[in-house]
Structure 1
Amino acid sequence: MEWVIHLLRQHSELAIFLTIAAGFWIGKIKVGQFSLGIVTSVLLVGVLVGQLNITIEEPVKSVFFLLFLFAIGYKVGPQFFRGLKKDGLPQVGFAVLMCVGCLVITWILALIMGYNAGEAAGLLAGAQTISAVIGVADDTINGLNISTEQKNNMINIIPVAYAVTYIYGTAGSAWVLSSLGPKMLGGLEKVKAACKELEAKMGTSEADEPGFEHARRPVVFRAYTIENDWFGNGKTVEQLESYFISQGKRLFVERMRHNHTIINEILPGQLLQKGDEVVLSGRREFAIGEEDWIGEEVIDPQLLDFPVEVLPVMIHKKPYANRKLEFIRKQPFMHGVSVRRIKRAGIDIPVFAQTVVDSGDTLELVGLKKEVETAAKQLGYIDRPTNATDMVFVGIGILIGGVIGALAIHIGGVPISLSTSGGALIAGLVFGWLRSKHPTFGQIPESSLWVLNNVGLNMFIAVVGISAGPSFIQGLKEVGPMLFIIGILATSLPLLLGLILARYVFHFHPALALGCTAGARTTTAALGAIQEAVDSETPSLGYTVTYAVGNTLLIIWGVVIVLLM
């Protein structure tokens, strides 16, 4: 054991990876519905490892934190700037007010309890589940004109306060928004009905049919034997597809078998007759049940054995950006092409006819290779899966942001700046927005974003925990159990305020009210709980813009809360 301790002290990088491995493992353990979560687990394991008095050089922590903040900004940048346009301003205004509420309520509670700047920052980080506040507050405290001892005491207490308040910050947010939220908006059944009504208005009436996957309705290819007398002496492919459209369904004939011969190239004038077998493609909710009208479904490996391409495309061309999906679907180049999925700022949003597709959204197109690639080129940039990250883009972005953030102005002898961390966040926002406008450069694959986000943040948290380890127990005694109660108030009051603002001031639809409140507090776990409670994915429509604003402001509040205290 002494050899292991000596090894970890001599090679502190090994202590970090030990903390990461154990923290990720513990964070995935669930007892019923309860889980500590990855970040909290990494922090607590770091504190435990830190009892060995391991010293870690400061730059290690900063490098990973800057990568994390840039990645956060890059991810939400397109939605942040989109929200500044006319149609997004109400949601931006709501998110700003709610974020101000988070700051002010936390600040007042900290003043009442007599907390110092470190305790207040930890309370803000944990109660609002915005882990990045730890690093931003750390940078700000280091810039204050106070003694080194005072700085260390404040910085070491931040992770203590964070750990005490984070658990309710996560679980409590989900409970408040999924349980109390619908009641405050008129009752659960009323909210459910409003969500179904919104779905119908946006172009779907099949959401209540059994067997559907609400969060993701995939595109399917199914084969049928033509038996219906409607076909008479024959109908053309164009006539059949037009009939489907008249019924509100987008289904396409992709392949057929006539007289034991498979026909691959389907033309609009191709004749379909009773006894033929046809392959239809379309979204699942449209394809299910066609055997009741066309004829019996057949499982024919030979007929269904053909390549289909799934191609992600980033929307950026003006004719199709900020347009309803219904408009895009009606374009001639979309014949035979279905939209399987829409992702905005990493969040899946409903694939409804009335869903507005924003510049920077990624659509997953499904169909035959030729048709899909033709459609993708018309809509925007084909964002093919890749492992390559534009590190020139990332490096320059963090450098420019860090330089700007390091610039400080002095007011009353107090240096005020965004800090290098705040600058990296702002740079990420701008560079992410630029990427949505000019997608030929600056690519960061989703897998790389995951690494920058999760590994970047948790490497930082691991170092924080290890560094704070020796003083953590003493700090826990200082803050006392009352901090947990204060954390409950700091979590719950802003959420309740947000629901009141959403209903009575902004008059949002109930689904959007719940989504906007979850987004402004950047609580993705709560969004999932809300969607499950109301049995609808429509709340995600209010999540993305407010999430972008909330992620930005709540991180910056790490600077503000220290200066206020």
Structure 2
Amino acid sequence: MNVRTKLAGVLAAPPKYILSLILGLCFLLTLFVGNAYASTIESEASSGIAWALSYLASNPFAYLFLTLAIGYPIGRITVGGINLGATAGTLVTGILIALASSALYGITYDIPGLVEDIFLMLFMYALGMRVGPQFFSGLARGGVDFLVIGLIVVFSNFLIVFFGVKVLDLGPGYAAGIISGSYTVTAVMGVAQSAVTSGAFQLPEGVTADTVGANMAAGYAISYVLSSIFIILLIKYLPKMFGKDAVLEAQKAEQEFSGGEDGGALPGTAGTSILGFTDKQIRSYKVEHAELVGKSVSQLFKMNPHAAILKVVRGDEVIDAEKDPSIQLGDIVGVLGDYNLLLNGKDKVGKEVSEPRARMVDIEVADIHVGKTRFAGKTLAEMGRKIGFGLHLKSLFRAGVAIPHLPKTIVEKGDVLRLAGPAWCVEQAAKSLKATPIVESAYTEVSFMSLALFIGFVIGHASVEIGGIPFALGTSAGCMLMGILVSWLRTRNPDFGGPTSEGARAFLNDIGLSLFVAVLAAGVGPKIMSSFQGTIVLWIAVLGLLGALVPPFLAWLYGYYIRKMNPVILAGACAGGRNSTPALNGIQDISQSGIAAVAYPVPYALTSAIVLILGYMAMVFS
């Protein structure tokens, strides 16, 4: 790729990414300028680059956010219709900075592992919140397939790497290291090392435990870096490779997993308070028909429940319908109703006039959970005549699934109604239904999230040891499952806090994953140089890439051709089988949807345990 192509790619990126790149470069320039000044005081032996990299190493905050500032726009550069994406761009940038620091000046980045853990768990919780409403329906629809996909990925990875190392005669330790790196599961090296220290693996004559450990580290470092980058690209572009539009396929999957009825955003998710399209309108008429005079607004609604007078303008006075005023001749009324009904307003009320004061009504959209009320068991038509004044029923949800909301549809206890209308009308209906209207807001509920993360950590951290091998769900998976559970509960009962702001959730998602990857890059980068020894590096790279990419591709072929799975859902399952959260983020980015994560947790949890067993076996039988 020549300089002109790179420049074109950068210029094609959105302005915010160009700005990020410029700011990042300006930061480096500031460091160099600062060093030029400092050099008049300090030893001349210290070079500008060395000083800058040393500054970053001494200040992890600067390293992390500089990596993001440069990595994001680099990830947006597109060549031949393909780009790395923000996650891989951040990973590559972090590795290059850490590698240059270590190789040129012996500078390493010591960032506490707690930082990495915190941001990963925040990301996983935010991810769970996004996909929770569809998770259980996804498990019911494709649970067996998700299990099979996980088994295909984990066992084919083992066979490729283990027998590849045998054929190439790479020596003990390499198989476990490459499995660990190509699967991006560092814990595999831990169980493999335990096989050495416990004596389960008998050291060959002339081979020391340190030698095995070095082989393991070399296999891990090289395969980890390569697999981390290329698995993102593979999962991200699998649908396109097979001629599928990821965005369209994601839309189909969302429709399928929401139950088939287009009811808008599910309760407990972002977008619930968007009014969207409706055939309801508010139009203003001058009262000219004597039969309306003397009747109250509520009486007129009982006579015609398909239209409601929301405001009455009488001279300089504007009266809300909440006060239930009686109509006088010459009043101007704002009427809410179906467009076709309002077209006949002249015959029912009087001449239509332009009176903004009669039409200035704030419309609120809220989810209401049907509690123990006399309206449970009634049809929507019956309920509407009693409590439907000024309201429009946008959607009806049952057990988290949108169902048709027709006049004869019976409302059951536990259903969720999405109502649109003036705030006082919504409040009035909610009171009758023994519920509280839930409106989407920017309230992020830190205490609720913190409690969920605490429980998720405890559940994921708990482990059971079988045959010397620890089995645990994993803290990140535990946090994701808590996010799923919280979102799922809110889908069925909005009283559990209502929806979290999508802006807050998306920020938590992006900053969590990006900083996790940046910390990861700081630790992996310096280890690469120590692994480059002769032609063995080439074989590690080849086996690492084969072990990382061939297994999910085989699982894709199974799901695509044999099971006819939705491509985006299938890509999410393959990412889960490969234990690659950044790859999942890649398919979500390109499909502009979070639906792929529905298929992620089942194969992720399954393979997280099995790969430890296989890593142990790879060491024992190497």
TM-score bracket, shorter-length normalisation: 0.5 to 0.7
Match of 1:264 among 300, 312, 320: 320
Choose 299-308 or 319-328, whichever is displaced more: 319-328
TM-score of the superposed pair, with normalisation by structure 2: 0.60
TM-aligned CA deviation for residue 163 of structure 1 = 1.2
Mapping of 1:132-531 within 5 angstroms? Answer: 134=184, 137-139=185-187, 141-144=189-192, 145=194, 148-149=213-214, 152-153=217-218, 155-156=220-221, 157-173=223-239, 176=242, 178=244, 217-219=276-278, 222-224=281-283, 252-255=308-311, 263-265=319-321, 278-280=334-336, 287=339, 293-294=344-345, 300-311=355-366, 313=367, 315=369, 317=371, 330=384, 332-338=386-392, 353=405, 365-376=419-430, 378-380=434-436, 382=438, 385-387=441-443, 389-391=445-447, 393-429=448-484, 439=495, 446-471=502-527, 478-480=540-542, 486=550, 489-490=553-554, 492-496=556-560, 499-500=563-564
Query: Which segments of 5 or more consecutive residues in structure 1 lack a partner in the other structure?
Result: 125-133, 184-190, 205-214, 503-512, 532-539
Deviates more, 1:369-378 or 1:489-498: 489-498
Partner of 1:104: 151
3-state DSSP of counterpart to 2:390:
coil
- Structure 2 CA distance for aligned equivalents of residues 203 and 73 of structure 1: 21
- Residue 493 of structure 1, CA deviation: 1.9
Please name the residue that 2:579 is paired with. Answer: none
Q: Tell me by how many angstroms 1:44 deviates.
A: 2.0
Normalised TM-score (structure 1): 0.65
Tell me which amino acid in the other structure corresponds to 1:467.
Answer: G
Q: Is the 8 A contact 1:338 1:366 kept in 2?
A: yes
Contact 1:342 1:350 in 2 (8 A): yes
Structure label with greater radius of gyration: 2
Q: Does 2:84 correspond to 1:20? A: no
Deviations 1:470-504 (A, max 9, x none): 3558678843476787377246325415753x6xx
Count of aligned residue pairs for this structure pair = 490
Counterpart of 2:54 in structure 1 is 6
Matched, 1:40 2:40: no
Amino acid in the other structure paired with 1:375: A
Question: What percentage of residue pairs aligned between the two structures are identical?
Answer: 20
Shift of 1:65: 1.8
Separation in structure 1 between the aligned mates of residue 94 and residue 374 of structure 2, nearest angstrom: 49
Give 1:153 shift.
4.1
Q: 1:173 to 1:64 in 2, by over 3 A?
A: same
What code does the residue aligned with 1:24 have? Y
Q: Which runs of 5+ in 2 are unaligned?
A: 1-48, 103-107, 163-174, 197-211, 265-273, 576-583, 616-622
Shift of 1:5: 1.0
Equivalents in 1 of 2:324, 2:548: separation in Å? Answer: 67
Deviation string, structure 1 residues 162-182 (Cα, Å, up to 9, x no partner): 311212312323675945999
Contact 2:239 2:245 in 1 (8 A): no
Equivalents in 1 of 2:411, 2:585: separation in Å? 21
Q: What is the DSSP-based 3-state SS (H/G/I as helix, E as strand, rest coil) of the residue aligned with 2:336?
A: strand
Does the 8 Å contact 1:233/1:273 carry over to 2? no
Residue aligning to 2:207: none
Q: Distance in 2 between matches of 1:75 and 1:323?
A: 32
Deviation at 1:330, TM superposition (A): 4.0
Which amino acid is the alignment partner of residue 172 of structure 1?
L
Contact 1:223-1:277 within 8 A present in 2 as well:
no
> Does the C-alpha gap of structure 1 residues 177 and 405 become closer, same or farther in structure 2, counting only changes over 3 Å?
farther
Distance 2:526 2:562 in 1: 39
In the alignment, what sits opposite 2:139? 92
Offset of 1:100 from its aligned partner? 1.6
What are the superposed Cα offsets for residues 329-375 of structure 1, whole Å, 9 maximum, x if unpaired? 74844432335689999x9x879527999999987643212112333
User: Shift of the alpha carbon at 1:18?
Assistant: 1.2
Paired with 1:160 and 1:528, the residues of 2 have a C-alpha distance of: 21
Contact 2:461 2:474 in 1 (8 A): yes
Is residue 95–residue 550 contact of structure 1 (8 Å, CA) maintained in 2?
A: no
| Contact 2:283–2:342, Cα closer than 8 Å, also in 1 | yes
Q: Is 452-461 or 352-361 further displaced after alignment?
A: 352-361
Partners of 1:95 and 1:350 lie apart in 2 by: 20
Secondary structure of 2:356's counterpart equals coil
